[in-house]
Amino acid sequence: MQLKGKTALVTGGASGVGLAVIETLASKGTKAVSLDVSEEAGQTAAAVTNDKYGAGSVTFIKCDVTHVEQLESCFKQAVSVLGHIDIVFNNAGVILENRWEYMIDVNFKGVVAGTQLAVEHMRRDKGGKGGVIINTSSYVGLVPKFTHPVYVGSKFAVVGFTSSWASNPYMKDMGLRFGTLCPTAVDTAFHQLKDEQVRYPREFRESVKMQTLLPVPRAVEGFLQLVEDDESNGSNLMVMAQGNLYQQQVLQDGKGLPKPQFYFFPS
Ligand SMILES: NC(=O)c1ccc[n+]([C@@H]2O[C@H](COP(=O)([O-])OP(=O)(O)OC[C@H]3O[C@@H](n4cnc5c(N)ncnc54)[C@H](O)[C@@H]3O)[C@@H](O)[C@H]2O)c1
């Protein structure tokens, strides 16, 4: 997909990866609507982006993705701002093992609701224009980790859900593509957490310390790879500091899904 002149909706757009994706899209001529529960940060970030790339590059709308009706209403507002939406990035996420039901609502229910709204809006067989839906999972959406098991479960759920949509045999008529972004630990505020937010805080911190934190622009590159590659559907892109692993599951006409394969792309 060529990004110039396209439109995008991004959840969790007030900070971190979501914000960096919005800035990059703006730099490439893609207008965005940013949805986030954090109003002040979202408004401030949108103002900075609009100053840099021109008024209307991004519109911020306060939204808590755990409230499905609120998300529906914000999605409708986004459509009225943008006309139609070509890219939906369901990216809002939290680590809160001490509030695990809420965490599942943000990390999985919000992604399900956002994906379903995107499918209904975009599907060509119902009058839409097609599009790309990228959901943020994590490295720990593909590899288990004992330190924060509910978070990990919610991210495995994102991979299973998104891959299932990607394997839909009617996808060609719908004109849709799907992918999950699965970064290793990214250098965002996400890691500034209190002990109770994970189950084993000491081991969690040790494990993060042992990794090279992924610079945010590398996560953005992963997102762009999934969106810009027209052949990509059902890809779970593990973005790492030293290259990417690309679990490619492209639906082939009449043949169903091929066996997942890992390809290594050095950075
Ligand atoms: N930082 C990492 O190490 C890492 C690694 C892999 C995956 N991820 C995932 O990447 C995504 C982005 O994380 P980040 O690192 O940019 O962190 P971040 O905390 O900077 O961004 C997350 C954003 O989601 C928003 N948000 C939280 N709850 C929300 C809700 N109910 N409704 C709407 N917005 C809500 C927050 O306000 C915040 O702006 C998350 O899904 C996270 O799970 C992060």
Give the per-residue pLDDT at 242: 80
CA of 199 to the centre of ligand 1 (A): 19
Q: Of 145, 186, 207, which is best to mutate to test ligand 1, by the most ligand atoms within 8 angstroms of its C-beta?
A: 186
- Identify the residue with better confidence: 208 or 10: 10
* Fold (topology level) of 7-265: Rossmann fold (3.40.50)
Tens of pLDDT along 80-97? 999 999 999 999 999 999
Q: Please state at what angle helix 110-122 crosses helix 68-82, rounded to 10 degrees.
A: 40
Distance of CA 183 to the CA centre of its chain: 10
pLDDT of residue 211: 87
Alpha carbon distance 198, 203 (integer Å): 10
Q: Dump pLDDT digits (tens) for 220-240.
A: 999 999 999 988 888 999 998
| 71: nearest Cα among 32, 46, 28, 106 | 106
- The first and second tokens of residue 143, run together, are 């590899």
Which residue has a Cα nearest atom 40 of ligand 1? 93
Q: Tokens for 36? A: 């986030």
Region of poorest pLDDT, from 5-19, 62-76, 198-212: 198-212
Supply 97's token pair.
Answer: 């093992």
Report CA-CA distances (Å) from 48 to 4, 105, 211: 20, 30, 31
Backbone angles phi, psi at 91, to 5 degrees: -125, -15
Residue 208 has pLDDT above 60, yes or no: yes
Which two tokens mark 1?
Answer: 């997909």
pLDDT for position 46? 98
Q: Is the pLDDT of residue 266 over 80?
A: no
Q: What is the pLDDT of residue 6?
A: 98
Pocket (CB within 6 angstroms of ligand 1):
11-12, 14-18, 36-38, 63-66, 91-94, 106, 136, 138, 183, 185-186, 188-190
CA distance 55 to 45: 13
Predicted pLDDT at 191: 82
Confidence of residue 250 (pLDDT cuts 50, 70, 90): low
Are 223 and 28 spatial neighbours (Cβ–Cβ below 8 Å)?
Answer: no
Residue 248 Cα distances to 73, 181, 257, 262, angstroms: 34, 12, 10, 7
Residue nearest to atom 23 of ligand 1 (CA): 12
Mean pLDDT within 173-183: 95
- Tens digit of each residue's pLDDT (9 = 90 or more) over 38-65: 999 999 999 999 999 999 999 999 999 9
Closest CA to 17 of 87, 91, 86: 91
Report CA(180)–ligand 1 centroid distance (Å). 14
Mean pLDDT to the nearest integer, 174-179 = 95
Cβ proximity of 203 and 175 under 8 Å: no
Closest-lying ligand 1 atom to the alpha carbon of residue 42: 39
214 C-alpha to ligand 1 centroid (Å): 15
Atom number in ligand 1 closest to CA 139 = 6
Which one is catalytic: 53, 139, 151, 246?
151
- The continuous run of DSSP H or E covering 237 comes out as strand 235-240
Q: How crowded is the C-beta side of 87, counted as CA atoms within 13 Å?
A: 30
Q: Which of 259, 218, 172 is nearest to 21 (CA)?
A: 218
